[in-house]
Amino acid sequence: MARPPVELRVDAAHFRRVLNESKAFSRTLERELRANLRSAAAAAANEAKREVMKSPLHGEVKYHKGLRAGIAAGIKIRVVNSRNRAGVYIVSGGTTPAARALAKNWDKPGGWTHPYWGHKPGVHKTTRFKRGAIGRSSSAAKRQVGRPYFGTVIVKDSELIESRIRDALAQATAVAARTR
């Protein structure tokens, strides 16, 4: 079961109203408001990107930084104002199919399992070792643990993000009121 998303609370009706009014007032004001809202969450998104690039919690891995870079590149900030949803979302997607799959698992505290030796778990194969010896090897599932990079980082900055979003909404409201 997936963990619930990290939710920061800002009045959704006020958020939706300010975004709709800024769009009706001028496209420039709406663009600036959306940029301010994205910058309000930028610090947390950048911290999540830095955290995902660190080595896993268990064991030192000096290779395969490409998948972690794909996860980091997939962390985006979206400002959504639709009929069903309104808010500023920090989402983690990944840029490749492998990075998208790993993005879900890298954040899990318990980690994930995957087969190694290139076969399904429990399948045996005959292996030739270096000096000509023949042996059997099991392709058991290997447990791998990533590093919590998403929710824990965002929760740490939640109050700051909420206040910056409120400030951006208040600033847009003030600009619209001044120029009417």
Asked, for residue 6, whether it belongs to a domain, the answer is no
Name the domain count of the chain: 2
Handedness of CA 73, 4, 41, 146 (dihedral sign): negative
Both 51 and 65 in one domain: the answer is yes
In this prediction, residue 117 has a pLDDT band, given cuts at 50, 70 and 90, of low
**Residue 78 domain boundaries:** 12-110+145-178
In this prediction, residue 107 has a pLDDT band, given cuts at 50, 70 and 90, of confident
Both 46 and 26 in one domain: the answer is yes
Both 121 and 44 in one domain: the answer is no
pLDDT of amino acid 178: 84
Both 46 and 72 in one domain: the answer is yes
In this prediction, residue 93 has a pLDDT band, given cuts at 50, 70 and 90, of confident
Asked, for residue 78, whether it belongs to a domain, the answer is yes
Quickly list DSSP for 72-111. Answer: HHTEEEEEEE-SS-EEEEEEE--SSHHHHHHHHHHT-TT-
Both 73 and 49 in one domain: the answer is yes
Asked, for residue 3, whether it belongs to a domain, the answer is no
Contact 165, 88 (CB under 8 A): yes
* CA–CA–CA angle 56, 67, 88 (5° rounding): 90
Both 68 and 85 in one domain: the answer is yes
**pLDDT tens-digit series, residues 53-62:** 887 666 555 5
Both 138 and 156 in one domain: the answer is no
> Which of 147, 156, 155, 154 lies closest to 54 in space, CA to CA?
147
Mean pLDDT (the chain, rounded): 77
- Does pLDDT of 63 surpass 50? yes
What is the distance between the alpha carbons of residues 117 and 138, in angstroms, rounded to a whole number?
8
Both 121 and 101 in one domain: the answer is no
Both 74 and 31 in one domain: the answer is yes
Both 27 and 89 in one domain: the answer is yes
Both 103 and 150 in one domain: the answer is yes
In this prediction, residue 38 has a pLDDT band, given cuts at 50, 70 and 90, of very high
- Does pLDDT of 27 surpass 70? yes
pLDDT of amino acid 61: 59
**pLDDT tens-digit series, residues 132-165:** 444 444 445 566 666 777 777 888 888 888 899 9
Dihedral of CA atoms 154, 157, 162, 165 in degrees, nearest 10, equals: -90
Asked, for residue 130, whether it belongs to a domain, the answer is yes
- Does pLDDT of 31 surpass 90? yes
pLDDT of amino acid 79: 92
pLDDT of amino acid 139: 47
Both 77 and 154 in one domain: the answer is yes
Asked, for residue 79, whether it belongs to a domain, the answer is yes
> Which of 106, 103, 105, 109 lies closest to 91 in space, CA to CA?
103
Contact 124, 139 (CB under 8 A): yes
